[in-house]
Each structure stands twice: as C-alpha cells, then as structure tokens.
Structure 1
Amino acid sequence: MTRTKAARSGKAETGTSPGAKAGRIRIGVGGWTFEPWRGPFYPDKLPQKQELGYASRHLTSIEINGTYYGSQKPESFARWHDETPDDFVFSLKAPRFATNRKVLAEAGPTIERFLTGGVLMLKDKLGPINWQFMATKAFDPADFEAFLKLLPASAEGRSLRHVVEVRHESFKCDDFIALTRTHGVAIVIAGDSKFPQIADPTAAFVYARIMGTAEDEPQGYPAEALDRWAARAKAWAAGQAPEGLDYVGKPHTDKARDVYLYVISGHKVRNPAAAMALIERVG
C-alpha cells in the first residue's frame, strides 16, 4: 500500500475527467439485510440470498456496515462483486477497532489488516471507506494528522477513497478542515442528524449520510425535503456549495465532484423508498 504523489504533496485528485460538467451521483442505504424491508421494499417471496441482487438493481450504491463490527471473508467480497451490476459501487465502514481507540496513531496494524483482508476483491466496485468515530472522540490535531497519514491512497495498484465521520463539536474548526484537505480525505456530511454538520468539501468526492426519514412519510421524507436533498446532490456534483448547510469556512465553488449519498437511520423501513425517490429526482 502506497500513498500517491498527489496525496503526499497535499493535492487532492479530482473525481472527474477533464472538462466534465458534473461528477457521478450514487445513492443508497446502509446494508441490505433487514427483515422489515420485506413487503415495503423486497417482494415477500424473494429468497434472502437474492436480496443484494434486488437491492443493487434499485439503488446505485450500498454502504456495508458489517465491516465496522468485524472482519468479512474474502469470498464474501468476491460474491458481492459478482452479484451486483457492473456500475454498482459499495462503500465500506472501516473497523471500529481502528477508530475507537485513545491513540489514533497506533491504528496502523488494524488498518493494514482491514485493507489486506479481502476488501480489494470488490475490484472496481470498491467505493469510499468510511472511518467513523465515536461521538465522544474530540479533535486532537497531532494525533488525527498521524491517523490520516496511515490511510493509503492506493493498495495493490487500486486507488482508495477515504472519508472520516467525526461526531464531536471540536472538529468544527479550520485546523481540521485544513488537515483533511491536505490529505485529500472527505468529511461525512451529517444530514437531519443530532451530530455536528461539517459541509466543507475537502476531497475529490462528497459523502453525505442523511438520517431524517419518518414513519408517516411513504417515501421517508416529504416531497420538498427530497427535492432539497436532490438539489444538493446535483450542486455537489457540479462543484457548487449548497445553501442551508453548516460550513466551517466560507462556502465556495470548486471542481466537479462525485457524490455518495446514503439514507441512514431515521425510520429505517422507509430508507429504500427515500433513496429510490432521490435517484429518480437526480436522473
């Protein structure tokens, strides 16, 4: 695993080809195995082994959560790759053992084991890796920089994208924005959530997790909220800074970016419906 010259020099690579008008927008949910989705999302008689195939043909991405709690078999990653369409992409939650620790600079061996444990069997369907931190984890500039230096920009010749999900108010500062931007690492944008929102773009892509679906909304969100999130996704893809979000620095326009948006938490039964409604809106 090696860092690219761009990452070492502090220059983030762009997520789109030269002259592209907008990045690619991918929208999905967290995981695909959830019994209450039978009926509202999955056909009642669909065999469970076909759920991923079904979900991946109605969504454009899925965030795998099981990798946060424990290791998965390499054969599982290979099977997930084979069961999904060619243009489908998974994001992965990195293992909690790397982030739920007092000294982040000591996470190297855990990161190494994770990245060599089969995730690369996803091949071109491997999307961003989400390094999620506990809400009690405060910002320690030196230690967090040491952690970012442990995240390789590539592994076995395949480029990697990293995003950090920080959930403590102390991260809402210029130093944190500068660190992530220097290393080309994105920051999770928490939407409709109790967690602090940091919408500053710091990488070649944008990664949002929206958490406000409600039981009394058939599509999870009311139409105006779906319109608003779809408009934000399209603005991010075009390199714009949407209004109505919390920024640490001054919002500015920039290069086009790929977008990964996941409907997470909230009233989970409604999440696939919300994701599909957003996919329809972004075209």
Structure 2
Amino acid sequence: MKNEIQIGCSSFNNRFWKGIFYPENLPTSKWFDFYCQHFNTYEFNASFYRFPTVRVLENWYNKAPENFTFSVKAHKEITHIKKFINCEDLIANFYEICKTGLKEKLGAVLFQFPPSYKFSVENLELIIQNLNPEFKNVIEFRHESWWIPEVWDAFLANNISFCSVSYPNLPKTIFTNFPLVYLRFHGIPKLFYSSYDSQELLQIKAEIKSKSGFVYFNNTASEAGILNALEFKE
C-alpha cells in the first residue's frame, strides 16, 4: 500500500443512496458488490457494537474482491466501557479474530475513545502498553486534550497513528507524519449529516498527496457521505 490513499465509507447499506449511487432496480443483496466496484476499502463499524467472530469476518473476506481492505473498529467494551483497563486478553482476542478472519484484507485497526476520555500520562501509557505493534493501529480521540506533542511523539515512537478527524468542536489537523494517514469525515456542523464542499476536499487531498493510508466518510446519515466519497475519489 505504498504511497496510496484508499478511499471508502463507514457504511454501505443505505437507503438514501438508492437512485443516487445504487441503481433503482438493484436488490439490496447486491449493494456491497456494487460498492466494491467503486471503492477498494470499507470501514467496518459493526464490530464496535457486536464483538466480531472469525466466521462473520471470513464471510466479509469472501464477499470482497482481491486487493480490497477492511479497517475494523474495536468493540466498545475495549474503548468505552473498560477503556483499556484490564483489557489485555480482550484486545488480543480482537486482534486474533481480525487477523484470522480478514487475512491480507485487514487494513487498520481503529480504537475510538469517547469524548469523556481525556489525556493523562496514565491513559497514554495504557494505550501504548496494550497495542500490538504488528498491526496498523489507529487511535481516534474525541477530546481535544490529546492534541499535544507529548502524545504525537509517543505515538510515533511506538508505530501508532493518530486519527485525523472532521468532527464538531475538535481541531481540524490533518496528520501526515504518522505511519498511516487515517482520516474520518463525520460531518460538520451536523454530525453524520453535513456535506463537505469541493474546495475543502481539494485542499485536504493536496495535503495527503503521496502519502499512504485511509480516508473514510462517516457522514452517512444522508446522501452526503457517498457523494463526498465519490468526489474525493475523482
């Protein structure tokens, strides 16, 4: 994946996209196949709500074409309930399931923390201690206390990527010096709904040019996500 930015969405099963992206007469059972004809990556978010199984991920592996990648979001018990405390076995299990189920189609593993999760030295150390550096680890924060050089330096030293987020009331920094560019467009000002204008997308595209990583559109509560993803891909 050298010097390649892969572009996709954080969901595909979307009735708002019918007639805009999916042909009117295309059955929903064929929607993922159609999505894969236009994009080469998908951010798998279902694993946040339900702990994945090898069988489920193998099914996705078999559905996707060659050279397709999945980034997988860690289960909420890890990031939102236990917040990495006494999580060694749970995280190891999650990694193993992702690796076994998705094989070479596994892209990044995303750990997204809640807005209540603030920076502390202890929290930073917990994150670093718990991550397996054999994987492409990406951390997404929702509290701006994490946007500090101490965190960035520690991540760089441990091969961890800091997620660039487009999210209401968070810094809009586009990080390009981590192992991966990993950018999530959530929608501003209306979370999950708002669209991005062409000028902003062009500016961001220029910033990440010649880098490696993933860009996902999570403003999928309307047709905005797919239209932005198609435009960004152009």
Calculate the TM-score normalised by the size of structure 1: 0.74
Q: Which residue of 2 aligns with 1:250?
A: none
Q: Distance in 2 between matches of 1:275 and 1:173?
A: 29
Choose 121-130 or 138-147, whichever is displaced more.
Answer: 138-147
Which of structures 1 and 2 has the bigger CA Rg? 1
Partner of 1:179: 154
Structure 1 residues 179 and 72, CA gap change in structure 2 (3 angstroms): same
State the 1:118 CA deviation: 4.8
> What corresponds to 2:145 in structure 1?
170
CA distance in 2, matches of 1:268, 1:114: 31
**Is structure 2 residue 32 aligned with structure 1 residue 52?**
yes
The 3-state SS of whatever aligns with 2:7 is strand
Partners of 1:214 and 1:134 in 2: CA distance:
19
Q: 1:229 to 1:268 in 2, by over 3 A?
A: farther
Paired residue type of 1:176: V
Partner of 1:84: 64
Paired letter, 2:132: P
SS at match of 1:207: strand
Deviation at 1:83, TM superposition (A): 1.8
**Cα distance in 1, alignment partners of residues 42 and 142 from structure 2:** 22
| Corresponding position: 1:140 with 2:120 | yes
| Residue of structure 1 equivalent to 2:100 | 120
Note if contact 2:220-2:226 (Cα within 8 Å) is conserved in structure 1: no
Aligned-partner Cα distance in 1 for 2:230–2:218: 13
CA 1:199/1:145 → structure 2, altered by over 3 Å: closer, same or farther? farther
Asked whether 1:275 is paired with 2:233, we answer no
Once the 2 structures are TM-superposed, how far is the Cα of residue 183 of structure 1 from its aligned partner? 1.0
Equivalence for 1:33: 13
CA, structure 1 residues 55+135, in 2 after alignment: closer, same or farther (shift >3 Å)?
A: same
Runs of 4+ in 1 over 6 A off after TM superposition: none
Query: Which amino acid is 2:201 matched to?
Result: L
Kindly provide the CA deviation profile for residues 217-247 of structure 1, in whole angstroms up to 9, marking residues without a partner as x: xxx433322322322231xx3xxxxxxxxxx
1:209 aligns with 2:184: yes
In structure 2, the residue matched to 1:232 is: 207
CA distance in 1, matches of 2:99, 2:23: 29
Partners of 1:103 and 1:72 in 2: CA distance: 18
2:51 is matched with 71
Residues paired across the two proteins, number: 231
Amino acid at match of 1:63: E
SS for the counterpart of 1:33 is coil
Which of 146, 158, 165 is 1:190 aligned to? Answer: 165
Picking from 209, 214, 225, the partner of 1:260 is 214
Task: Give the deviation of 1:162 after TM superposition.
Answer: 0.4
Question: Is the CA contact 1:180–1:202 (under 8 Å) kept in the aligned structure 2?
Answer: no
C-alpha distance in structure 2 between counterparts of 1:223 and 1:117, whole Å: 38
Evaluate the alpha carbon distance shift between residue 127 and residue 103 of structure 1 in structure 2; reply closer, same or farther with a 3 A threshold: closer
Computed over aligned residues only, the root mean square deviation of the Cα atoms, in angstroms, reads 2.4
The secondary structure found in structure 2 opposite 1:45 is coil
Report how far residue 76 of structure 1 moved.
2.3
Whether contact under 8 Å (2:185, 2:216) holds in the other structure is yes
Letter in 2 for 1:80: W
User: Distance between the aligned counterparts of 2:24 and 2:189, measured in 1?
Assistant: 22
Letter in 2 for 1:270: A
